[in-house]
Amino acid sequence: MPRLIYTLLIYLLLPVAPLRLLWRGMRQPEYRRHWRERFGFFKTPVTKPVIWMHCVSVGETRGAAPLIKRLQQRYPQYQILITHATPTGREAGEQLFGDSVLRCYLPYDTRGAVARFLGHFQPRLGMLMETELWFNLIAGCKTRDIPILLVNARLSAKSAQGYARLGRLAGNGLRQLTAIAAQTMQDAERLQSLVAAHGHSLPVEVTGNLKFDVTPPPEASAQGEALREHFGRTRPVFLAASTRDGEEAMILDAVAAAKLPQLLTVIVPRHPQRFDEVANLLTRRGIHFLRRSKLSQAVPANVEVVLGDSMGEMFAYYAACDAAFIGGSLQPLGGQNLIEASAMSKPVLVGPHTFNFAAATEMAIAAKAAWRVQDVADLARALQRLFGDPELRQSMSWKALEFSASAGGATQRIADLVSRYLPDR
């Protein structure tokens, strides 16, 4: 009965979906492409048995990269299918894997669309990344005897409260999963509690965070060197990475309060549809800035900000900076992944709101690879301290690299879990 009600609600909302795609397509035209896939209609040819992984957007796609590459090596007789929910996730998959994987959008969670998706691709095994629970999709896999795993699973206290309000719908959905690989013991306990509330148990393995296994691409250092040449070798560079709505103004306030001579601030918004919005903010404030997409020579001394309006260059941005702030954390949005910055040996600053990456953030802070700031004034003080002390920056850089290398192994553990349901032969 709970899933029936859930399904009816989805069908009631379904007529709004095309309007939403059109509206989002006004800001990001890619939303108007491949729209039939969202309703379960696919033209992608399938020539081998399929291993399927759902990666919602950019972060999940990048985080899954080590596991996908490991599966490609172990199971060459299979095709890897990656499904996405956003155009940026799809673009990240294309940049990372080219034509070596299949890509499409995961359809809306109606029974008909799910049946068409599973019927077309006929996956031998499916994996959902992090906290993606689509109840008709899970039930469809269960009906067809397709092993379905929740991997790199994380569940913040806030998200656990939200799923708890769904009652038996969430509990039954979790119980229908074949296996769960959680990032931390806290994530495992929260997942188990959703099922225990209805008198059942749920075996969950703690395998660690896949994102710790992300290796910077070979070209990242060279790209970063080229960027740094543009920024200036002797000029201090502060990177504000994956910023979200409202944070750019706060960062500019902090930079102004820090009063650091010649500081170049590089702002890379999380979502490409906000590039023009941030450019307008900089214009309104009278700040001299250049867009990364227009950068072909050295940044003039009077330019205060470079707007990172490019995709697929985050590792290069990290390589080219002296210290990085990770966005989504000054506003109550849960933060973003700080592991990529640590893997590039950069001191990291985060705001007070990191509940989506709580364990990794606390580990980085404990390792003295990262600092937490509470507000704009605190960020300004942190910038003054970091850019006023080169030895401190170097110490944090070494500790960041040690931290990123110390917590790996999730790829191997999850690959071993997959092998229980998908033997090599």
Measured distance CA(311)–CA(268) in Å, rounded: 9
Tokens at 292, concatenated: 């990364």
Residue 323: φ, ψ to 5°: -160, 155
- Counts for the chain of helices (H) and strands (E), in that order: 18, 14
Indicate the SS3 state at residue 305: strand
Indicate the SS3 state at residue 78: coil
To 5 degrees, how large is the angle CA 388–CA 391–CA 395? 120
In the chain the first and final C-alpha atoms are separated, in Å, by 40
Cβ proximity of 288 and 302 under 8 Å: yes
Identity of residue 264: L
Tokens at 147, concatenated: 């092993």
Measured distance CA(373)–CA(408) in Å, rounded: 26
Closest CA to 268 of 340, 332, 327, 341: 327
User: For the chain, what's the residue count?
Assistant: 425
Known catalytic residues are 60
Indicate the SS3 state at residue 369: coil
Distance of CA 409 to the CA centre of its chain: 19
Query: 């690879």: which residue's tokens?
Result: 369
Tokens at 361, concatenated: 């953030």
Tokens at 387, concatenated: 């850019």
To 5 degrees, how large is the angle CA 263–CA 265–CA 269? 175
Measured distance CA(334)–CA(129) in Å, rounded: 17
**Burial of 221 per CB tally in 10 Å (0-12, 13-18, 19+):** middle
Cβ proximity of 192 and 206 under 8 Å: no
Tokens at 204, concatenated: 């969950």
Dihedral sign from CA coordinates of 111, 112, 113, 117? positive
Residue 183 is given by DSSP the state: S
Residue 187 is given by DSSP the state: H
